[in-house]
Amino acid sequence: MALIKINKVTKIYDGTAVHVRALDEVDLKIEAGEFTAIVGPSGSGKTTLLNIIGGLDVPTSGTVIVDNIDISTYKPDELVNFRLHHIGFVFQAYNLIPVFSAKENVEFIMLLQGLSKSEREKRAMELLEAVGLRDRAHNRPSELSGGQQQRVAVARALASRPSFVLADEPTANLDSATADSLLDLMENLNKDFNMTFVFSTHDQRVIDRAHRVITLHDGAVEKDESTSLKLQNS
């Protein structure tokens, strides 16, 4: 059974002046443990697809089944709860809480889950260790570099023990070395813990590392290449 299963998902933004068909009957399956990149030009529907997979938006029609749960009919509050327990988010601009330390940022999502203080602290330190920032646990985001902030964001995304991580342009603000280092980290997490990563990206470095690349164009899947096919093409 696929971790994420999208059946004929259509999303239409119906404003007073515009009528945009952002996604057009998209069918997609993503298995657990995949390291997948969703690519495409601006306006191709990447963000909409990521929002729908992440429970941040609901489709106009079609079904979205994540972890065997059909979330396409969920109400906003149900989606919040779903996101809290099933999905880890990594954003382009890191989006850490500026007044919290790295450790508190990682802890916060566990607080929302209702975990005890001792459990939160223990897991937060383990995750910061995993992303190589144990010694920066008490630094605030403003005291960390961009790469370090994004590593904290990865630790935060993993803190809720999600089914998969959605990463929206995670390397867009990073220099090459830092981006490579972050991708190494994510690859290792994927390899060692079978953690599923789904990226929305323009970054060739991410595309090169992805095991599967889904290309969207005008709201539809134009190409869906796995690693073997990528190698043949190259």
Partner 1 sequence: MILSLAWRNIWRNKRRSLIIIAAIAVGLLCGLFASAVMLGMGDSLINTTIDRDLGHIQIHTKSFEDNKLLTDTIPSAEMILSEIKAQQYVTGASARLIIEGMISSATSSGGVRITGIVPDDEINVTTIHNKLITGSYFESEETNQIVLGYKLAENLGIRERSRVVLSFQGLDGSIIYGAFRVTGIFRTESTMFDRSTVFIREDDLLTLLDSRPIYHELAVRVNSVQNVDSIYAGLQSSYGYLSVKNWKELAPELKLMDEMMGMMMNIFLGVILFALLFGITNTMLMTVLERVREFGVLMAIGMKRRRVFFMIILETIVLSFFGGIVGMIMASITIAYFSVAGIDLSAFAAGLSEFGLEAVLYPVLPIYFYASITIMILLTAVFSAVYPAIKAIRLKPATAIRTF
12 binds partner 1 (CB under 8 A): no
Task: Using CB under 8 A, pick the residue from 54, 59, 141, 219 that binds partner 1.
Answer: 54
To partner 1, the closest distance from the beta carbon of 83 in angstroms equals 5
State both tokens at 163.
Answer: 């089914």
Contact code string over 70-89 relative to partner 1, x by CB under 8 A: ------xx--xx-xxx---x
Are 182 and 154 spatial neighbours (Cβ–Cβ below 8 Å)?
Answer: yes
10 binds partner 1 (CB under 8 A): no
- The C-alpha atoms of residue 171 and residue 64 are separated, in whole angstroms, by 27
Burial group, residue 15, by CB count within 10 angstroms (0-12, 13-18, 19+)? exposed
To partner 1, the closest distance from the beta carbon of 124 in angstroms equals 12
Task: Using CB under 8 A, pick the residue from 99, 119, 161, 227 that binds partner 1.
Answer: 99
Beta strands at 19-30 and 220-226: parallel, antiparallel or unpaired: unpaired
User: Binding-site residue total for partner 1 (CB under 8 A)?
Assistant: 29
Where do runs of H (alpha helix) occur along 21-173? Answer: 46-53, 76-86, 102-113, 117-130, 146-159
Contact code string over 130-169 relative to partner 1, x by CB under 8 A: --------------------------x---x---------
Helix 102-113 with 117-130: angle, nearest 10 deg: 130
| Phi-psi region at 173: left, alpha or beta (left = phi > 0; alpha = psi -120 to 50) | alpha
Are 165 and 195 spatial neighbours (Cβ–Cβ below 8 Å)?
Answer: yes
Nearer to partner 1, 5 or 11 (CB): 11
Single out the segment in contact with partner 1 by CB under 8 A; choices: 15-23, 50-58, 178-186, 201-209.
Answer: 50-58
107 binds partner 1 (CB under 8 A): yes
- List of residues contacting partner 1 (CB under 8 A): 47, 51, 54, 56-57, 76-77, 80-81, 83-85, 89, 91, 93, 95, 97-100, 104, 107-109, 111-113, 156, 160
